[in-house]
Structure 1
Amino acid sequence: MSFFDNVVGKIFGKQSSKAAFIHEQLSRTEKELAQYQTWVESEESESMLIDFDRAYHLKKKQIASQMEVHLLESRYSNGFAITFNQVFTPISFQNFFDYLKDKTLEQGYKLAQSDRRIMDKDTYEETIEKWYLKPQSADLDTSLINQRFGNIIIEKIEVNRKPNYLRFMANIYADRLYSKAQPFDELFDKLTSK
């Protein structure tokens, strides 16, 4: 280590040489899309949605279930996180992630951004896949813009290329130009219906 690196390290702290960062658009291959469509039409997806609905409502009553669901609730943001465990396979977890995006699109949303970020941390590699959806604004000529359930962010996080958890957040607009957001529970019911 040079004298300069040593001085900078003492002033600003040691910088990791493993700061690799990849940022790319998130897209699916034709094979992944075909696999996803097969999954959507399968009994496995139906069963997973039933289990998810049950786990979410049990968690609201503070009862644990095999599918680990965590509630994310605040004044302006509501949602849930799901921990990857033996209930899922890596493929079913990805399919479930994509399914949440498609169900949100059906509620009057448009895909505003999709990306994948891969970061090399000091002791692990982290991959974050994200779908960012915004309400469609066909009603801009009205007095209030219909925000529906707010902006939606759906993220799938992997650690060392293994699924870790999935997060779904609805963030409402607190601006007087927007209508009052619809209740998150209504959105949840739409996500779990086929």
Structure 2
Amino acid sequence: MSFFDAVYNKLFKKHEPNTVLSHKALKRSEKERVSFKDWLQDDVSSTLLEKIHKAYHLKRTDIEGEIPILLFRSVYANGFAIKNNIEVSDRDFHFLLDYFKHKLLALGYRQAGSDSKVTAKDGFVLTVDKFYMKPPLQVEPPIDQLYGNIAIELHLMDDKPNYLKLMASIYSDRMYKEHQDFDELVELLLIKDAL
């Protein structure tokens, strides 16, 4: 079977449900990095972050803002998801994924992993681009977990953004210091400054 046939079969032949088509490290090209830097300098990114900030706080009081946001709150994990909507372009979703990663790096986090997984699922193609962020390495307890381990995921259906999710999971072990407040993290993430 030729390379073309193998690619064709993966993309166009009927697949069993949840067939993994591709799973690789998430890397940005030079062109994508330049586009991201241009986006950071653009007023559009500032306006978008302000709208997300406002929508997040409205949602905390059970009011829907311009941008639809879902909140997740539990004892061991906190997070939010930004659903696809007319206020956030497809391009902006990709840039927000990278923006949150860079903000976390600036807060002292380290990138512990990244991947892009493409799956054939129930008649559509699901792509999940993900960054996994962890606090700095520390051996001696009590270990500073900052805001916890953080996963940032962009879910796309047939290459169209469905939602962007950020989830912070904490440790409740005596070897770790008490985690910092998730709402404080949200403020730091949604306030645009130089990266």
TM-score for the superposition, normalised by structure 2: 0.88
Cα distance in 2 for residues equivalent to 1:185 and 1:192? 11
Q: Does 1:130 align with 2:124?
A: no
State the partner residue of 2:6.
none
Residue in 1 that maps onto 2:139: 140
Q: One-letter code of the match for 2:190?
A: T
CA distance in 1, matches of 2:166, 2:66: 19
Shift of 1:140: 2.5
Sort the Cα spacing of 1:86 and 1:16 in 2 relative to 1 into closer, same or farther, 3 A: same
Q: 1:44 to 1:110 in 2, by over 3 A?
A: same
**Per-residue Cα deviation, 1:126-163 (whole angstroms, up to 9, x for no partner):** 000000000002x423x300000000000000001111
Letter of the 1:129 partner, please give it: D
Q: What one-letter code is carried by the residue in structure 1 that aligns with 2:162?
A: N
| Structure-1 separation of matches of 2:190 and 2:159 | 27
Aligned residue number for residue 5 of structure 1: none
Which one has the largest radius of gyration? Answer: 1
CA shift, 1:18, in A, is 7.0
Q: Corresponding residue for 2:7?
A: none
1:86 is matched with 86
Alignment-derived partner of residue 65 in structure 2:
65
Residue aligning to 2:16: 16
Query: 8 Å contact 2:17–2:121 — kept in the other structure?
Result: no
Deviation at 1:66, TM superposition (A): 1.5
Q: Does 1:96 align with 2:86?
A: no
Change (3 A) 1:70 1:17: closer
Alpha-carbon separation, structure 1, partners of 2:58 and 2:170: 25
Unpaired segments ≥5 residues, structure 1? 1-14
Letter of the aligned partner of 1:81 in structure 2?
A: A
Match of 1:140, as an amino acid?
Answer: V
- Cα displacement string for residues 68-102 of structure 1 (whole angstroms, at most 9, x for unaligned residues): 11111111000100001111211111101110111
For 1:17 and 1:61, how far apart are their aligned partners in 2? 39
* Number of residue pairs matched by the alignment: 178
Aligned to 2:120: 120
Structure 1: distance between partners of 2:182 and 2:63: 20
Q: Distance in 2 between matches of 1:57 and 1:170?
A: 18
Q: What secondary structure does 1:149 align onto?
A: coil
Q: CA deviation at 1:16?
A: 2.2
Query: Distance between the aligned counterparts of 1:17 and 1:95, measured in 2?
Result: 30
TM-score by length of 1: 0.88
SS in 1 for 2:36: helix
Unmatched segments (≥5 aa) in structure 2:
1-14
Q: Which amino acid aligns with 2:49?
A: L
Per-residue deviation at 1:21?
Answer: 2.8
Aligned equivalents of 2:151, 2:163: Cα separation in 1: 14
